[in-house]
Amino acid sequence: MAATNPILNQAGVIAYRVLDGKVRVLLVTSRDTGRWIIPKGHIKAGEMPCKAAKNEAYEEAGVRGIIVGSSPLGMYTYFKKLVSGQARPATVEVYLLRVKERLKKWPERNKRKLSWVSTKEAVALVEEPGIVPLLLRLMELEHDLANPPREFLSESRDLKAAPDQRGTG
User: Residues 46-98: pLDDT tens digits?
Assistant: 999 999 999 999 999 999 999 998 899 999 999 988 888 888 999 999 999 99
pLDDT digits 0-9 by tens, 151-163: 544 444 444 444 4
pLDDT, residue 5, reads: 64
> Contacts by 143-147 with C-beta closer than 8 Å and gap 24+?
145/16, 145/18, 145/23, 145/68, 145/98, 146/18, 146/21, 146/22, 146/23, 147/21
- The pLDDT > 90 percentage for the chain reads 70
User: Which residues are CB-neighbours of 71 under 8 A, at least 6 positions away?
Assistant: none
Buried/exposed code over 141-158 (b: 16+ C-beta within 10 A; e: otherwise): bbeebeeeeeeeeeeeee
- The pLDDT > 70 percentage for the chain reads 85
The amino acid present at 87, given as its one-letter code, is: A
Q: What is the mean pLDDT of residues 138-144?
A: 93
pTM: 0.84
